[in-house]
Amino acid sequence: MNTLANDGVAVSAIDVAAATRHKAWGVTAMLTLFMVLNFGDKAVLGLVAKPAMAELGLTPVEFGFIGSSFFFLFSLSAIVVGFLANRTSSRWLILALTMVWAAVQFPVLAGGSATVLLVCRIILGAGEGPALPVALHATHSWFPAEDRALPSNLIAIGPTIGAAIAAPVLSWVIASPALGWRWAFGLLGMAGIAWGIAWACIGKDGPYGSSHGASEGGHVASSATEKLKTVPLRRVFGGRMWLAATLAGLSCFWAQGAMTTWVPQYIGGVLGVEASRVGLFYALPWLFGTILLVVLGFAGRHLMRNGGSARLAVAGLFGASLVVSGACLLWLPHTSGLLAMALTTVGWGAFLVFPMAPTAVAYAVNPDQRAAVISTMVGIASIGGVLSPAVFGWLVQKAGYVASSAGTGDTALLAQGLNRAFSLTGLLLLVTGLAAVILINPERTATLLQQHAAE
């Protein structure tokens, strides 16, 4: 009888563990789609650049300002909601964020002016600021520390999948005489509502969402990170690892802000790709980023399951990717043709591994502080996204480029301005990538923080 009882308990535990794994990967899949929507909402402005600038009468600086406005409240929202995520269900926070994203698309569809577009982008930025940290926090709550590299990277490929799917679809909608650029916003609003309904039915919080590390039935054991003691956040924020990761993140947000606002114009205006095919070529860097994230995710999980450190398996791979991205963008202004397209693909794709940085930092703190630490890092890093679109616009306008009423202009002047901006971006990524390789060390940081906690 005892044997049967013990066997029954063992079988029950196996069933619970299997059910937990299925739920974990189901939630991960939904959150990957969540980040697909995140990409579409963010990138649509760059895809509609030519027709929107022409119809609304915007100069490059004005258009760059609207691009930057996405990040006006991004940082503040990321930090505030990140601290709230420590005390509130991620399920309902994510649903609320998605509804905000959907709602702000429809005023543009309804014929809103440049002012309406500006206000909607500001509100959208406030809604999207917490997206990555909350999604990572929700994902981490379903996996033990040693298994988080792969699901974290799958969340991170959401935007790259979005580029592969959304960019060509939105480009077709924009180029369609029957629809036009405003319907790109409407399509995204409808998609957001549909995803929100599905998430309300599927989304749940996982068993690793607190330092107690117990599931609903208490069957999931704590992993190493869940056993870390709470430490003063000023110790975390003042450490060189967090500072290096935040600066690297700032350069990634700088690049992403520029990419979503100006790279489609580079592909269409400088490389000469037809308007209907710009989305397809614009998807290539995102596709490269997708492949890179998946490869690095499997590599990181393999390394950590075989005794490797998070410094090597996550932080080192992240920093090296930024170095490659920076080198390609420094080289890009001196090339043309197929080589330019190849460097565009790698240079504007390799830095998309940014979510690996907050994943690395999360190894040094317990789950009760994870959301606050990640969201504060992302919030500050996003300042790069505030600055870059406007700086790019200023450099383009300083070069003398002016868009005509048909959305075209002197491509030589456009190339001159963008090449200067690309070189600046490449230098930022190269320097901060090297700093990340050297300074991001989760194991050492965790040890130092725990010593402070003991003292």
pLDDT exceeds cutoff 60 at 446: yes
As for how many domains the chain has, the answer is 1
Q: Is 402 helix (H, G, I), strand (E, B) or coil?
A: coil
pLDDT exceeds cutoff 70 at 169: yes
Assess if residue 436 is contained within a domain: yes
Assess if residue 213 is contained within a domain: no
The residue assigned the tokens 């036009």 is: 180
The sign one gets for the Cα dihedral 245, 251, 257, 263 is negative
State the average pLDDT over residues 180-202: 88
Assess if residue 44 is contained within a domain: yes
Assess if residue 3 is contained within a domain: no
Alpha carbon 403 to its chain's center: 30
By mean pLDDT, which of 12-26, 36-50, 107-121 is the weakest?
12-26
Tens digit of each residue's pLDDT (9 = 90 or more) over 397-407? 888 877 654 44
Assess if residue 393 is contained within a domain: yes
Cα 418 to Cα 424: distance, rounded to the nearest angstrom? 10
Find which of 106-110, 238-242, 381-385, 423-427 is predicted with most confidence, using mean pLDDT: 423-427
Residue 455's pLDDT is: 65
Q: Which structure tokens are listed for 281?
A: 């070529």
pLDDT exceeds cutoff 70 at 252: yes
Cα 416 to Cα 42: distance, rounded to the nearest angstrom? 26
- By the 8 A CB rule, do 33 and 250 touch? no
Cα 119 to Cα 109: distance, rounded to the nearest angstrom? 14
- CB 20: neighbour CB atoms within 10 A? 20
User: Pick the residue with more confidence: 171 or 345?
Assistant: 345
pLDDT exceeds cutoff 90 at 350: yes
Give the residue from 234, 267, 452, 238 showing the smallest Cα distance to 347.
Answer: 267
Assess if residue 15 is contained within a domain: no
Strand residues in 98-220 grouped as ranges (E): none
Query: pLDDT class for 212, splitting at 50, 70, 90?
Result: very low
Mean pLDDT score of the chain: 81
Residue 160's pLDDT is: 66
Query: pLDDT class for 219, splitting at 50, 70, 90?
Result: very low
pLDDT exceeds cutoff 60 at 218: no
DSSP state string for 68-113: HHTTTTHHHHHHHHHHHHTTS-HHHHHHHHHHHHHHTTHHHHTT--
By mean pLDDT, which of 311-325, 358-372, 428-442 is the weakest?
358-372
pLDDT exceeds cutoff 50 at 154: yes
pLDDT exceeds cutoff 80 at 145: no
Instruction: Say what the pTM is.
Output: 0.70
Cα 110 to Cα 175: distance, rounded to the nearest angstrom? 18
Assess if residue 111 is contained within a domain: yes
* Type of residue numbered 381: A
pLDDT exceeds cutoff 90 at 233: no
pLDDT exceeds cutoff 70 at 210: no
Give the residue from 126, 136, 121, 125 showing the smallest Cα distance to 27.
Answer: 136
Residue 18's pLDDT is: 63
Query: pLDDT class for 440, splitting at 50, 70, 90?
Result: very high
Tens digit of each residue's pLDDT (9 = 90 or more) over 407-416? 455 778 888 8
Q: Which structure tokens are listed for 156?
A: 């991170």
- By the 8 A CB rule, do 16 and 30 touch? no
Cα diameter, the chain: 87
Cα 113 to Cα 136: distance, rounded to the nearest angstrom? 35
Residue 225's pLDDT is: 61
Residue 226's pLDDT is: 62
State the average pLDDT over residues 323-345: 93
pLDDT exceeds cutoff 50 at 242: yes
Tens digit of each residue's pLDDT (9 = 90 or more) over 47-105? 787 788 888 888 877 887 887 787 778 778 877 887 777 677 878 888 989 899 899 88
- By the 8 A CB rule, do 169 and 288 touch? no
Cα 193 to Cα 197: distance, rounded to the nearest angstrom? 6
User: Pick the residue with more confidence: 355 or 124?
Assistant: 124
Assess if residue 214 is contained within a domain: no
For the packed helices 74-85 and 114-128, what is the interaxial angle rounded to 10 degrees?
30
Q: Within 13 Å, how many C-alpha atoms sit on residue 225's CB side?
A: 27
Domain CATH code at residue 313: 1.20.1250.20
Domain assignment of residue 366, given as a range: 22-204+222-454
Q: Within 13 Å, how many C-alpha atoms sit on residue 208's CB side?
A: 29
Cα 38 to Cα 284: distance, rounded to the nearest angstrom? 18
Query: pLDDT class for 237, splitting at 50, 70, 90?
Result: confident
- By the 8 A CB rule, do 390 and 61 touch? yes
